[in-house]
């Protein structure tokens, strides 16, 4: 009788502790990370960080890739998921910034419907071209484009940073390159390599293998100075195209109303992983730079990006097509 009472007290105590701290035994089942398109930077970071989380927790992290609509499809899945920390999103500017202006009936609110966890990485886009393009630097590429008059450029989709960088390039270089949206960065890369589109703006991670193999011509990165991930590629000002500045960023998000203790635990674990020298080096060698942050810093970053890009998108009249 006494043993039964003791067990009942222990069970009740354990239940009370769990109720007070929902993160006490988190995670105790597989976690799903919604990525966007095989071969994309979001895909790579989702898989790499997911692998490290699996190793840390001993709990499987599964990447669920769903391409199309600029990443809004998997983003909406997370927005409507149970807020328990078991469904996460590798978000970016396409899902949380430009989508607000592009889609008149966006099914989620990028601020209200998500609990920010941490920034994961920041990168640049690289102005790249098919090897058949007769240009050895950005100025020769610009001259060739003006001569041809109707070059196309590939992007990872409407409203993605690769799309917006292309529009910035048009503005600062005085060009009228025609935008060709693909379903993902990986698909845009395939189109570029296959000669469907001669020019693109891709992240170093997406184009890593082809850049290393010399299968693409790289002309500039979208930053004021050379980017640490690809130090051999000139900065935009060095290439003679100042003003072509765009940050490609990725961050982890959970659904809104995810308990704060779970968000805190996720943040602490992810930030700890990103601070590891081997993780920094692995992402750097692929052309990215880790950017661990607090949830509040990620939230502020999203708002600052909305303030920056929304007027540009609206002024250019960019809409999802």
pLDDT string in tens for the chain (321-residue length): 555 555 555 554 455 445 567 778 899 999 999 987 777 888 999 999 999 999 999 999 999 988 767 788 899 999 999 999 999 999 998 899 988 988 888 999 999 999 999 999 998 899 999 999 999 999 999 999 999 987 999 998 887 888 889 988 998 999 999 999 998 888 999 999 999 999 999 988 888 889 888 899 999 999 999 988 889 999 999 999 998 988 889 999 999 999 999 999 999 999 999 999 999 999 988 878 999 999 999 999 999 999 988 887 887 777 765
Strands 199-202 and 152-155: parallel
CATH topology of domain 126-221: D-Maltodextrin-Binding Protein; domain 2 (3.40.190)
Per-residue burial over 77-110, b if 16 or more Cβ lie within 10 Å, else e, is bbbebebbbbbbbbbbbbbbbbbbbbbeebebeb
Q: Which two tokens stand for residue 134?
A: 């007769």
In the prediction, which pLDDT does 11 show?
A: 52
Q: What is the CA radius of gyration of the chain?
A: 22
Do 126-221 and 29-122+249-316 have the same topology in CATH?
A: yes
In the prediction, which pLDDT does 3 show?
A: 55
Residue bearing tokens 């109303």: 257
| Domain extents in the chain | 29-122+249-316, 126-221
In the prediction, which pLDDT does 313 show?
A: 83
In the prediction, which pLDDT does 17 show?
A: 47
In the prediction, which pLDDT does 188 show?
A: 93
In the prediction, which pLDDT does 79 show?
A: 97
Per the CB < 8 A criterion, the answer to whether 56 and 50 are in contact is no
Residue bearing tokens 């693109």: 200
Rounded to two decimals, the pTM is 0.80
Q: What is the CATH number of domain 29-122+249-316?
A: 3.40.190.150
Distance CA 17, CA 11 (A): 10
Distance CA 157, CA 251 (A): 19
Distance CA 259, CA 267 (A): 12
Q: What are phi and psi of 240, to 5 degrees?
A: 85, 20
In the prediction, which pLDDT does 180 show?
A: 94
Q: Is 21 exposed, middle or buried (0-12, 13-18, 19+ CB in 10 A)?
A: middle
Q: Give the list of residues 6+ apart from residue 115 with CB closer than 8 angstroms, or none.
A: 83, 253, 254, 255, 256, 257, 258, 263, 295
Q: Is 224 exposed, middle or buried (0-12, 13-18, 19+ CB in 10 A)?
A: middle
């Amino acid at each position: 009788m006494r043993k039964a009472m003791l067990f009942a007290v222990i069970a009740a105590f354990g239940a009370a502790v769990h109720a007070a701290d929902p993160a006490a035994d988190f995670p105790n089942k597989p976690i799903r990370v919604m990525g966007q398109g095989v071969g994309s930077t979001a895909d790579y970071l989702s898989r790499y960080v997911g692998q490290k989380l699996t190793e840390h927790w001993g709990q499987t992290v599964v990447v669920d890739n769903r391409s199309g609509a600029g990443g809004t499809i998997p983003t909406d899945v997370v927005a409507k998921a149970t807020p328990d920390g078991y469904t996460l999103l590798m978000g970016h500017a396409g899902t949380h910034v430009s989508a607000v202006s592009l889609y008149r009936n966006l099914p989620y609110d990028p601020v209200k419907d998500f609990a920010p966890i941490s920034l994961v990485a920041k990168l640049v886009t690289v102005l790249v071209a098919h090897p058949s393009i007769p240009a050895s630097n950005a100025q020769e590429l610009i001259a060739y484009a003006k001569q041809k008059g109707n070059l196309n450029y590939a992007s990872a989709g409407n409203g993605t940073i690769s799309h917006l960088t292309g529009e910035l390039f048009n503005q600062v270089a005085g060009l009228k390159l025609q935008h060709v949206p693909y379903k993902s960065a990986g698909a845009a890369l395939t189109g570029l390599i296959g000669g469907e589109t001669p020019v693109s703006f891709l992240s170093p991670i997406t184009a890593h293998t082809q850049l290393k193999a010399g299968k693409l011509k790289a002309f500039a990165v979208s930053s004021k100075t050379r980017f640490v991930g690809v130090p051999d590629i000139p900065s935009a000002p060095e290439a003679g195209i100042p003003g072509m500045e765009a940050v490609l960023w990725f961050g982890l998000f959970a659904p809104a109303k995810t308990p704060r203790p779970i968000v805190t635990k996720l943040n602490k674990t992810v930030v700890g992983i990103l601070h590891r020298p081997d993780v920094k080096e692995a992402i750097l060698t692929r052309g990215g730079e880790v950017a661990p942050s607090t949830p509040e810093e990620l939230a502020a970053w999203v708002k600052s990006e909305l303030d920056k890009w929304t007027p540009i998108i609206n002024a250019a009249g960019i809409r999802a097509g």
